[in-house]
Structure 1
Amino acid sequence: MSAVDSPKWWNVAVPGVAVVLALIVLFAEAPGPRVAGAIATLGALVVAWFTLGRRGCSSPDPPPPSSSSSSCSPERPSRSSPCSRSCRASAIRSSGC
């Protein structure tokens, strides 16, 4: 599992980026209401991530492959197949790994 697929790293990245952006906003020479609005918006982003975004990363099953890709088989997924990742994931789950 790469860092992009790992929910742990997204849970670190989203607040980290929000903190960096908040520091940029605080040190920019902007009027008070704009700073307050930017900080509030970043806060809403972080709250939305922890209430909604994390649920997307921890969904138990990947979406089923579309019917157009009939070459997808969990036993021998093709690397060029668009559903090869979900096939490999379902093969791993069914094998108990």
Structure 2
Amino acid sequence: MQDRDAAEALAALGNTTRLKLFRLLVRAGNEGANVGQLQRNLEIPASTLAHHLSSLVRAGLVVQERQGRVVISRVDFRLTVGLVSYLTDECCTGLKVEREEDAA
């Protein structure tokens, strides 16, 4: 994962409503949830939900699939695991502080 992709995903999660929505979809698992289920659980207007869902979709954290007249939203667990790995892959490896004179 690139720095830019991680920053975009984290920025999308940086809103309380989107974070709650994302965590709700994580609980739904691979089955996902339809917009009505999400709206009932979060108790927010449909237009607000659509705005927050579109932010998560743009960041790649959520994928949507139309099943007839119903839209199912799911967490992209592959990307989510990649984001967590990106954040933790250098855990406990120590710091190497590079000074300007060392880099020259």
TM over 0.5: same fold?
no
Larger radius of gyration: 1
- Per residue, is there more strand in 1 or in 2? 2
TM-score, normalised via structure 1 length:
0.30
TM-score, normalised via structure 2 length:
0.28
